[in-house]
Amino acid sequence: MLTVDSVTTGYGEMEVLRNVSLTVGEGEIVSIIGPNGAGKSTAMKVVFGLLKPWQGTIRFQGEEIGGLLPDQIVRKGMCYVPQVDNVFPSLTVEENLEMGAFVLSTPLKERKERVFALFPRLAERRRQRAGKMSGGERQMVAMGRALMLDPKLLLLDEPSAGLAPFLVDMIFERVTDINRMGVAILMVEQNARKSLAMAHRAYVLANGQNRIDGPGDTLLKDPEVGRLYLGG
């Protein structure tokens, strides 16, 4: 579904990624882990068109998308949930969901009800402004908004960041539920153990380059990965 091949990019003149490659197959959960500053979020941004690749190619469902703008990529079936500033705080929950489907001209009732079924808390608070909600609730809103377009691939950047432990478990359960709905997921996650445990495959980035990759459960048991990235 997604193929990133030898991509190099960065900000201004500062190179952050160098010859990074990864793939996401249909229906897979693929995780990217690594230390702070490894280029994980930058990888997500270049896939979604927030950065342009300096070198290399990015193909989504067989089509070259490197250099396309995010609104063009959204229309092709990919959605992105950033780590911060991922809701419209002055809008209600329901209005946020509707913004997620801004490119559609069809009725949105059924799409909203599917999101509310996945996140019942949002149904209870559909009239509440997103800016008044807890961090976990805002994360539900952001994920729900991304699902309004029925994406084929969902990009999640640190979905559990800053959440209480019980909310972390709930968010990961919802990620699994979303994947069972047939949505492929590419995820950057600070909780590397949970991320690897649920991932079909995973990539470890270090200093902006590929370091190790393989099945999630294999990397979870890898002594080098444990020593360098999982705290032993």
Question: What pLDDT, on the 0 to 100 scale, is given for residue 231?
Answer: 66
- Residue 152, pLDDT above cutoff 80: yes
HSE at residue 134, side-chain half, CA atoms within 13 A, is 10
* Domain range summary for the chain, segments of one domain joined by +: 1-77+151-232, 83-150
- Residue 177, pLDDT above cutoff 80: yes
**Better-scored residue on pLDDT, 184 or 229:** 184
pLDDT averaged over the chain? 93
Question: What pLDDT, on the 0 to 100 scale, is given for residue 75?
Answer: 92
Helix (H, G, I), strand (E, B) or coil at 25: coil
- Sheet of 78-81: strand order equals 78-81, 153-157, 184-188, 29-33, 201-206, 209-215
- Residue 36, pLDDT above cutoff 60: yes
- Residue 232, pLDDT above cutoff 70: no
CA torsion sign for 200, 175, 179, 70 is negative
Question: What pLDDT, on the 0 to 100 scale, is given for residue 199?
Answer: 96
**pLDDT tens across 124-140, in order?**
999 999 999 988 899 99
> Per CATH, which fold does 1-77+151-232 belong to?
Rossmann fold (3.40.50)
Mean pLDDT (whole number) for 168-194: 93
Helix (H, G, I), strand (E, B) or coil at 232: coil
- Residue 24, pLDDT above cutoff 60: yes
194 Cβ contact list (under 8 Å, min separation 6)? 160, 168, 172
Please identify which residue in the block is written with the tokens 């080098």: 224
Q: How far from each other are the two terminal CA atoms of the chain, in whole angstroms?
A: 34
Question: What pLDDT, on the 0 to 100 scale, is given for residue 98?
Answer: 94
Question: What pLDDT, on the 0 to 100 scale, is given for residue 13?
Answer: 92
- Can you list the positions of beta strands (E) in 25-137? 29-33, 55-60, 63-64, 78-81
CA torsion sign for 40, 44, 46, 47 is positive
- Residue 163, pLDDT above cutoff 90: no
Question: What pLDDT band is residue 167 in, cutting at 50, 70 and 90?
Answer: confident
Helix (H, G, I), strand (E, B) or coil at 108: coil
Question: What pLDDT, on the 0 to 100 scale, is given for residue 85?
Answer: 82
Helix (H, G, I), strand (E, B) or coil at 88: coil
**pLDDT tens across 54-99, in order?**
999 999 999 999 989 999 999 999 999 998 889 999 999 999 999 9
